[in-house]
Structure formats: structure tokens, C-alpha cells
């Protein structure tokens, strides 16, 4: 155990540090981005996914949330972005700390979860064991969501292995790759790991694939961060290690270790994103930020809620030359545990949420703040500009400070309006009030400045776009915008949970504006590996003012697995 003198000195230094940080934030220039509270959820929004232009689906657990359905607590909520209200959906299995993604036909699939729990005063749990759970939300044409349902049949539709704290990503054939999970025996480290991959719909006759990478990254490898790359391989980072996984050859290629011993996955959560992909080569780069420098060999009770989070970001280019060069180190303005990255249509990355000290999980370090393993919430987001020069990529210009802590069990997503939806935060074992960090039901939107001005409007967008094919849309651009600075983004908003946006993706598309500036000819991504087939949103940004996002289906909209489509990329885009 650490000495009282060490803990006292550490606390004094941290108090001075965060006092200075609050002063620095208060002196930062305030701009037009604004936090707006609008509505309250009936569950904790710890898993968040946009399932239609007007609907967000959220998942929680059965342990005291106020939302009710059929005489018991609900743990799934559908949120209407037009009314900013939610209503319950019926589920069978427990969805706590699960994952999910959209298939090539637009179906949302939620996978994994925990064993059932007993809410206070309840003798028979309303939820079944969710560790092998598969839940299906079919595309729903009702913009209000009133006729939408969640389908489950645990007896016939389930995973091949128990998966709690798992990750799921859409891959090149439109199906899901499901990565790792579980931590059954302790409240902190992964002591009962599922060191394997599987797929939905199943491959390999429904068998799992053992992963040496997952086996060597215990005990801090929960919610591995995975990204489908433009050559069809998958990049995965867990703990402080990373690999390329070749789905077709079933091989793992070891990549350079995250520098300086920083751990970046649960319960030492950093965050990661695949940076925007740009034509003509769509060269992939991954950015990993935050986490912890403290050893994962330390018993959790010897860790502290006051241990500083890492301010380190590392970036790698996934080409042979980039891999040889290794990770490039950058520094955020402050350390963050459990941050979230949100890709923005203009190509920047918004980093939000999280804590300045401590860890993920609940009531398992030596000095939790109530039940929270983390403290000192970071209340001001920061931009990361991938195209800026090294050392000048972070800035806070125009970003506000919130008064709502978003730490463990938070969710966030970009919405078609261009606003950022934020919900959740519950570093507790149930619903808690009057604590330092309560169960949070308030919904916020982080609104960009262009919401209050004239924006480009895009019309006549086809419902489906074929790979590598051009299509033309009508566009109306305000006269005061410089059309020399025009970008067209194709985006998957991803599935947000536990400081990670699984399947989040931005692909810039080639676009040509006509001489009269009234129509725009766009070329779809070259193939289904650059953008895995499935739903997407098209945003047009002119002079940093972004249109509303329009939903399209990329590819045929067929159920997975689908065949390769389009044309191959040049060899320069290959990761290995």
C-alpha cells in the first residue's frame, strides 16, 4: 500500500494542478459552441447508437432506472430527436456493458451483456442472462419510433461464447466482428477473459477464433478498440499493445507497443479513432488518447481515484513505412480517463467527457469518491485537427465548459443536425442521488455555431449509392461561403459505450461543383473495404459550415455477408 505521506503529497499537487486548470479554462476565449440541456432519459444512456435520422437507441441495465414497461423496469430506451423524449422498448436479456453496430442492410445488432440482476425489492429478475445475448433492431420507417421493436430469441439466437465488456465492429462484408470481453470474478480487472473473436452472422460454423493477442493483453483488455481498414484487415488496440488482424487469412501481425507504458482500454480507458480517410489512397491512421501510466499489475485496492490520467496521444500510419516509423506522441491539454472521440464532418475530432484522475469501473480502488473510481471530471472539450502540424493540433477555440460530469457509463454521438448528443454517467452500482457523482439522466446537446446561421442545403440525394459510381445532387450554398473550401463526408456515427465509438468512420468523397454552384457531382468510395457496406450519412461542409446529414445506404442494402464490390485500391493503401 502507498504511504499516507505519498497520498497526501499527491493530493496536494493534484489540487494545485486542477485549480490552475480551472483558471486556464476560465480565461479561454468563449465562442459560439454551446451546451444546451434538453430532456431527461428514463435510463442511464451508457450505450448510444443513432438508428435513423430521428432516433437514438440507448441501453442500460436492470438496477433501479425509473423507466417502466410491462410492470417492470425498462433497460432499453428509444430517443426521439424531434421531440427530445424517450420511451421504453422491451428486451429479454440484460444489455449492461454490451456493444453493437449496424449491419449492411441497416439492422442494428446489440451483442453481449451481463448476467441478470435483482433490483431492490424484486425477487424475480425481469432480465435473462445477457452474456451471450443477441438483440435485433430492424430498420424502422416510423420517424417517431412508436412502431419500432427489439427482437430477441435467446434459445435460438445467441453468441458462441459469453461476452461482457466486448466490442463489435462492422467489417468489409457487412457482418459484425465481435472481439473479446468478460471479467467475471473481480470488479476491476479482466480475470476471466474470452480471448477470442466471433462473427455475426456466424462464420466458421459458429465457432470462435482464439486470439493470442487478447491472451497476452489481460488484465486490462476489456472493450478492445477495433477498426476495419481500407484493405479489409482489422486494427485492434488493447492494453498497451496493437495488431493487424487478417480476417481472411486468420493471422495476427504484431504492431509497435503504445509508448511509455500507457494502458488505453478498460478499466484504464483511453479512447481511439480511425482518422478520416481521404481519396485517392485512403491511407489509414489511428489516433489513441488518454488512459493510464500506472501498472496493471497493481492490485486495484492499491490504485487511487487521484492517480493522474495520461495526457498522451499517439498516432500511427498503417502503411509499411508508417508501421516502421511507429507511434508519434502528442499531448492533450490535460490527462483524460474515459474520454470520447467524435468525428466531425469537417474532418476534425472532438474529444469530450472523462476524468482527470482515477480509473473506470466502480468502487474498486482504494479511495473511491463515493462509488466512483475517478475524480476531477474534465468539463471542457477540445478539438484535434489531424491536418495541422505536430504540436499545434489541439485547440479549444469557441468551445464551452459544461457543468455536468460525464464519466463512467456515458454515451455520446453526432446527430444528423450536426449537434452532439450527450447522455448518461453513472459511476455507481445502481441509481444514486445526492452523491458527488450521481446517476445522470439529463440530456445535453453540444451545438456548433453553424446551427444559428444559413447553411448549405443538399437535395436530390439518392437513397442508395453504389461503390465507385458518381452521383449528382442539388446544392444551395449561402453567398458568404467560400466554395473553394468544400468537403463531402460519408459517415457512420458508430456505437458509443465505455469511451469508444465502435464502427465510427468518416470517408471523404471526391466532389466537383458545377460552374453555377447549383449541383455537386460526387464519387462514392471505391469499394466495400474503404467503407463497409451499410447505412451512412452524407454531410457537405463549405467554409467550415456544415449541412444537415442525409441518410443513404452504401451498397445494395443486402443482408450480410455481401461480396466485394467496386474497384481495388492502389497498393499504397495496404497496411502490410
Instruction: Dump pLDDT digits (tens) for 365-394.
Output: 999 999 999 999 999 999 999 999 999 999
Beginning with the edge strand found earlier in the chain, give each strand of the sheet holding 209-210 in spatial order.
Answer: 167-170, 176-179, 196-200, 209-210
Average of per-residue pLDDT across 469-486: 97
pLDDT in tens, 24-60: 333 323 349 999 999 999 999 999 999 999 999 999 9
Please, what is the Cα angle at 157 between 244 and 235, to 5 degrees? 10
Of the listed ranges 177-191, 349-363, 455-469, 482-496, the least confidently predicted one is 177-191
pLDDT band at 119 (very low <50, low <70, confident <90, very high): low
* Higher per-residue pLDDT: 28 or 188: 188
pLDDT computed for residue 268 by the predictor: 98
* pLDDT reported for residue 576: 57
Q: Which of 141-150, 418-427, 493-502 has the lowest mean pLDDT?
A: 141-150
pLDDT tier at 126 (50, 70, 90 boundaries)? Answer: confident
In this model, does residue 108 exceed pLDDT 50? Answer: yes
Q: Label each residue of 113-167 as H, E or C.
A: CCCCCCCCCCCCCCCECCCCEEEEECCCCCCCCCCCCCECCCCCCECCCCCCCCE
Torsion of CA 384, 385, 391, 394, to 10 degrees: -30
**Residue predicted with more confidence, 345 or 144:** 345
- Higher pLDDT, residue 306 or 122: 306
Q: Of 133-147, 257-271, 295-309, 555-569, where does mean pLDDT reach its minimum?
A: 133-147
pLDDT at 2 over 80: no
- For residue 533, give the nearest of 255, 171, 279 by alpha carbon: 171
Sheet holding 225-228, edge to edge: 225-228, 234-238, 241-246, 251-254
Mean pLDDT of the chain: 93
pLDDT score, position 6: 40
Is 5's pLDDT higher than 90? no
> Cβ contacts of residue 434 below 8 Å, gap of 6+?
none
pLDDT at residue 153 is higher than 60: yes
pLDDT at position 491, please?
A: 98
**Is residue 575 very low, low, confident or very high in pLDDT (cuts 50, 70, 90)?**
low
Given the C-alpha cell 463489435, which residue does it identify?
168
pLDDT at 570: 80
Taking the C-alpha atoms of residue 305 and residue 303, their distance in angstroms, rounded to an integer, is 7
User: What is residue 496's predicted lDDT score, i.e. its pLDDT?
Assistant: 98
Longest dimension (CA), the chain: 72
Grid cell in block for residue 402:
459544461
How many angstroms separate the CA atoms of 399 and 526, rounded? 36
> So what's the pLDDT on residue 14?
42
β pairing state of 394-395 and 410-414: unpaired
- State the pLDDT confidence band at 348, using cuts at 50, 70 and 90: very high
Residue 295's pLDDT is 97
d(Cα 415, Cα 247) in Å, to the nearest integer? 31
b/e sequence 260-286, b meaning 16+ C-beta within 10 Å: eebbbbbbbbbbbbbbbbbeeebbbbb
Residue 18 scores a pLDDT above 90: no
Amino acid at each position: 500500500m502507498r504511504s499516507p505521506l505519498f497520498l497526501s503529497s499527491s493530493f496536494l499537487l493534484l489540487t494545485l494542478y486542477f485549480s490552475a486548470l480551472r483558471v486556464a479554462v476560465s480565461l479561454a476565449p468563449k465562442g459560439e459552441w454551446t451546451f444546451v440541456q434538453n430532456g431527461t432519459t428514463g435510463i442511464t444512456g451508457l450505450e448510444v447508437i443513432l438508428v435513423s435520422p430521428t432516433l437514438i437507441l440507448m441501453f442500460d441495465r436492470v438496477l433501479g432506472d425509473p423507466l417502466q414497461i410491462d410492470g417492470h423496469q425498462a433497460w432499453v430506451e428509444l430517443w426521439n430527436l424531434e421531440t427530445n423524449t424517450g420511451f421504453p422498448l422491451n428486451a429479454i436479456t440484460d444489455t449492461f456493458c454490451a456493444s453493437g453496430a449496424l449491419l449492411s442492410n441497416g439492422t442494428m445488432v446489440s451483442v453481449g451483456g451481463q448476467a441478470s440482476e435483482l433490483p431492490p425489492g424484486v425477487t424475480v429478475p425481469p432480465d435473462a442472462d445477457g452474456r451471450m445475448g443477441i438483440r435485433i433492431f430492424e430498420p424502422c420507417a416510423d420517424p417517431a419510433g412508436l412502431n419500432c421493436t427489439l427482437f430477441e430469441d435467446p434459445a435460438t439466437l445467441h453468441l458462441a461464447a459469453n461476452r461482457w465488456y466486448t466490442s463489435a465492429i462492422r467489417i468489409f462484408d457487412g457482418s459484425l466482428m465481435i472481439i473479446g470481453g468478460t471479467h467475471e470474478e473481480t470488479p476491476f480487472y479482466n480475470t476471466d477473459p474470452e480471448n477470442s473473436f466471433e462473427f455475426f452472422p456466424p462464420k466458421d460454423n459458429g465457432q470462435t477464433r482464439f486470439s493470442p493477442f487478447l491472451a497476452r493483453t489481460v488484465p486490462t483488455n476489456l472493450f478492445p478498440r477495433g477498426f476495419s481498414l481500407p484493405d479489409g484487415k482489422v486494427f485492434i488496440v488493447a492494453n498497451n499493445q496493437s495488431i493487424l488482424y487478417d480476417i481472411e487469412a486468420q493471422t495476427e501481425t504484431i504492431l509497435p507497443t503504445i509508448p511509455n507504458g500507457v494502458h488505453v482500454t478498460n478499466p484504464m480507458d483511453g479512447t481511439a479513432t480511425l482518422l478520416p480517410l481521404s481519396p485517392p489512397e485512403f491511407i489509414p491512421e489511428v489516433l489513441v488518447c488518454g488512459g493510464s501510466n500506472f501498472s496493471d499489475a497493481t492490485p486495484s485496492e492499491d490504485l487511487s481515484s487521484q492517480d493522474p490520467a495520461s495526457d498522451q496521444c499517439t498516432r500511427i500510419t498503417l502503411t509499411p513505412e508508417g508501421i516502421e516509423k511507429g507511434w508519434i506522441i502528442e499531448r492533450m491539454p490535460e490527462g483524460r480517463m474515459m474520454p470520447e472521440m467524435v468525428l466531425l464532418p469537417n474532418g476534425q475530432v472532438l474529444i469530450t467527457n472523462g476524468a482527470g484522475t482515477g480509473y473506470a469501473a466502480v468502487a474498486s480502488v482504494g479511495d473511491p469518491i463515493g462509488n466512483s473510481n475517478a475524480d476531477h471530471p474534465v468539463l471542457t472539450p477540445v478539438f484535434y485537427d489531424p491536418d495541422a502540424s505536430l504540436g499545434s493540433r489541439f485547440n479549444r477555440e469557441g468551445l464551452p465548459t459544461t457543468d455536468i460530469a460525464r464519466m463512467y457509463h456515458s454515451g455520446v454521438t453526432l446527430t444528423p443536425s450536426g449537434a452532439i448528443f450527450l447522455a448518461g454517467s453513472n459511476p455507481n452500482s445502481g441509481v444514486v442521488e445526492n452523491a458527488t457523482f450521481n446517476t445522470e439522466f439529463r440530456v445535453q446537446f453540444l451545438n456548433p455555431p453553424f446551427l444559428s446561421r444559413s447553411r448549405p442545403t443538399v437535395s436530390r440525394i439518392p437513397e442508395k449509392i453504389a461503390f465507385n459510381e458518381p452521383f449528382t445532387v442539388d446544392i444551395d450554398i449561402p453567398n458568404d461561403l467560400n466554395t473553394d473550401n468544400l468537403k463531402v463526408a460519408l459517415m457512420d456515427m458508430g456505437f458509443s459505450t465505455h469511451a469508444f465509438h465502435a464502427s465510427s468512420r468518416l470517408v471523404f468523397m471526391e466532389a466537383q461543383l458545377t460552374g453555377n454552384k447549383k449541383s455537386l457531382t460526387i464519387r462514392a468510395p471505391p469499394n466495400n473495404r474503404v467503407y463497409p457496406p451499410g447505412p451512412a450519412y452524407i454531410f457537405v461542409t463549405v467554409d467550415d459550415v456544415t449541412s444537415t446529414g442525409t441518410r443513404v445506404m452504401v451498397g445494395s442494402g443486402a443482408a450480410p455477408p455481401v461480396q466485394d464490390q467496386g474497384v481495388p485500391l492502389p497498393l499504397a493503401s495496404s497496411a502490410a
